[in-house]
Amino acid sequence: MKQIKEKARTIPVIAETDVLVVGSGPGGLTAAIAAAREGVDTLLLERYGCFGGVLSQVGVEGVAWYRHEQTVESNGIGSEFEQRAKALGGSSREPQSDSEALDAEMFKVVADKMVLEAGARPLLHAMAVDVIMDGNILKGIIIESKSGRQAILAKRIIDATGDADIAARAGAPYAKASKEELMMVTVMFACRGINRDVFQEYVKESLKPSYADWAGESWDQRTSGKEANMFSPYIENPFNRAVKEGLISLDEDISIGGTWSTLSPEGDATQLNMVHLLKKDCTDVWDLTRSEIQGRDTVLKAITALNKYVPGFEKARLRNFGMTLGTRESRKIIGRCSLTEHDVMNQGKFEDTIGIFPEFIDGCGIIILPTTGRYFQVPFGCMVPQKVENLLVVGRAVSGDRIAHCAFRNMMCCTVTGQGAGTAAAVSLKSGVPVSRVTIDDVQKVLIKRGVKIK
């Protein structure tokens, strides 16, 4: 590979802050709100023009689509997302659970309001591209934006990029599966022009979908047994039929089949989570490029199949794509401790718990729903990277094995790690100790005061 040598240059420091959160998906958004509510100066950095990550930028509506009658949850800031969206008229009933489907566009406003009300400083349209180190201590980051190359200094930094970008650039150890093993990426889309009544009648009388249908022609699926007969808004056979009858063709690493969410009275079908691409590395810009282009082309093929084979979708047409790809897996840090398959499936308990998450596994051929009241505790240590100080990592990049990742990657669990990290950052500042050595009892007391269930 050819290389060039970039000239050294002096860049301006545009901000100094107590807590800097990089990335505003469910984990980062929650971390920033949590830290700001504890009275420390907090800056939330986002590369796109809105906060919310997979909620607002990808268009995944069900932040808690796993929830059923006996589900036990952490009840932190993540639950507020649903409440605030509903209060603004920005949600509807999620079709397979006791939760709210959040309107992607309205959630942009919800996120704005919650950030500003908490007192955090927002910075949109700026991307973190490098780190500022003093030995093994992370002191700040370099950003690029329309304003040029600039620096932000911070006393505490929270990596909420989803891909552990900051941790990796700072030299923290991490693991990443091969392309063949990485979970799929998705191009989300929405349709307009559906006949909701006709489609719902088809679902009720003919399709009769359940989680057992997830074990279709595209992939095998393992459950705990109870899921097989539970309703899931899942559809795959019409797309398989379209391929078999020559209506559409698919590359071998692309599949169509998945779920829908909101069906509006106006004829919109949103969060069509149906187009999946395998063997893509979402830290590789060439893979990202190919996935966006291939995904959009495949969406049009999916709509062609829906038009021909699905009652109610005869006149459906594209309304929009998600702003960006839906990605599930890339780097995971190697933390002070690591969540395991045994932990998430056997009610793991930890002395340094900062919240809980229901026994919900979604991925790697497993779907287990939390219908029995079981849950595991989320340890602070899984957010603490090795070899780098002044940094916490939240969201799907925390430390854990492949099956544990299929639990903690879910959006509401990302909010659990986010609130824990934001609170820990604030507590460590107030007590004058490095965040990696914060007194966990003090963090837990604040979380409990804020209404978080930690045990």
Q: Provide mean pLDDT across the span 159-178.
A: 98
In 160-251, beta strands by DSSP E: 174-175, 185-192, 234-235
Q: Provide mean pLDDT across the span 290-314.
A: 98
Which of 261, 290, 321 terminates a domain? The answer is 321
Q: Flag whether pLDDT at 99 surpasses 60.
A: yes
- 311 and 207 belong to one structural domain: yes
Number of domains within the chain: 2
Closest Cα to residue 309, out of 259, 235, 373, 253? 235
Q: Is residue 4 part of a domain?
A: no
Q: Provide mean pLDDT across the span 93-112.
A: 97
Q: Is residue 2 part of a domain?
A: no
Across-strand partners of 361? Answer: 368
Q: CATH number of the domain that 382 lies in?
A: 3.50.50.60
Q: Is residue 3 part of a domain?
A: no
CA-to-CA distance for 375 and 95, rounded, in angstroms? 23
CA-to-CA distance for 32 and 14, rounded, in angstroms? 19
Distance of CA 298 to CAs 315, 325, 326, Å?
A: 18, 13, 15
Q: Is residue 7 part of a domain?
A: no
Q: What type of residue is 143?
A: I
Q: Flag whether pLDDT at 219 surpasses 60.
A: no
Tokens standing for 14? 């545009």
Q: Is residue 335 part of a domain?
A: yes
- 82 and 125 belong to one structural domain: yes
Q: Provide mean pLDDT across the span 223-239.
A: 90
In this structure, the chain runs to a length of 455
Closest Cα to residue 81, out of 31, 26, 163? 26
- 364 and 315 belong to one structural domain: no
Q: Flag whether pLDDT at 223 surpasses 60.
A: yes
Q: Flag whether pLDDT at 290 surpasses 70.
A: yes
- 189 and 144 belong to one structural domain: no
- 171 and 204 belong to one structural domain: no
pLDDT at 325: 97
Q: Give me the numbers of helices (H) and strands (E) for the chain, helices first please.
A: 11, 20
Q: Flag whether pLDDT at 104 surpasses 60.
A: yes
Q: Is residue 52 part of a domain?
A: yes
Provide, rounded to the nearest whole percent, the portion of the chain with pLDDT above 70: 99
Q: Flag whether pLDDT at 236 surpasses 60.
A: yes
Burial of 406 per CB tally in 10 Å (0-12, 13-18, 19+): buried
Burial of 4 per CB tally in 10 Å (0-12, 13-18, 19+): exposed
Q: Is residue 6 part of a domain?
A: no
Q: Flag whether pLDDT at 454 surpasses 80.
A: yes
- Structural domain for 139, as ranges: 13-177+331-449
Which of 321, 339, 374 terminates a domain? The answer is 321
- 106 and 191 belong to one structural domain: no
- Quickly tell me which residue has 């799907």 as its tokens: 396
CA-to-CA distance for 33 and 446, rounded, in angstroms? 14
Residue-wise DSSP of 316-350 = -EEEEE-SS-B-----EE-BSS-B-HHHHHTT---
CA 239 to chain centre: 27
CA-to-CA distance for 91 and 110, rounded, in angstroms? 11
Q: Flag whether pLDDT at 224 surpasses 90.
A: no
- 46 and 111 belong to one structural domain: yes
CA-to-CA distance for 47 and 273, rounded, in angstroms? 24
Tokens standing for 77? 């800031």
Kindly report, residue by residue over 25-46, the tens digit of the pLDDT.
Answer: 999 999 999 999 999 999 999 9
CA-to-CA distance for 377 and 455, rounded, in angstroms? 6
Write out the H or E segment, with its range, that includes residue 242: helix 237-244
CA-to-CA distance for 69 and 369, rounded, in angstroms? 11
> With contact defined as beta carbons under 8 Å apart, do 289 and 150 qualify?
no
Q: Flag whether pLDDT at 215 surpasses 80.
A: no
> With contact defined as beta carbons under 8 Å apart, do 397 and 331 qualify?
yes
Distance of CA 227 to CAs 66, 214, 274, 316, 429, Å?
A: 11, 10, 20, 31, 45
Which of 292, 321, 350 terminates a domain? The answer is 321
Q: Flag whether pLDDT at 218 surpasses 70.
A: no
Q: Flag whether pLDDT at 415 surpasses 50.
A: yes
Tokens standing for 243? 């391929």
Q: Flag whether pLDDT at 272 surpasses 80.
A: yes
pLDDT at 216: 64
Model-level pTM? 0.97
Confidence grade of residue 103 (pLDDT, cut at 50, 70, 90)? very high
Confidence grade of residue 132 (pLDDT, cut at 50, 70, 90)? very high
Kindly report, residue by residue over 365-381, the tens digit of the pLDDT.
Answer: 899 999 999 999 999 99
- 340 and 441 belong to one structural domain: yes
Contacts of 441 (CB under 8 A, 6+ apart): none
Q: Provide mean pLDDT across the span 394-422.
A: 98
- 202 and 168 belong to one structural domain: no
Q: Is residue 5 part of a domain?
A: no
Q: Provide mean pLDDT across the span 395-399.
A: 98
- 117 and 227 belong to one structural domain: no
- 312 and 342 belong to one structural domain: no
pLDDT at 220: 64
- 359 and 285 belong to one structural domain: no
Contacts of 292 (CB under 8 A, 6+ apart): 187, 324, 325
Task: Give Rg (Cα) of the chain.
Answer: 22
Q: Provide mean pLDDT across the span 320-326.
A: 97
At 325, phi and psi to the nearest 5?
-65, 150
pLDDT at 225: 81
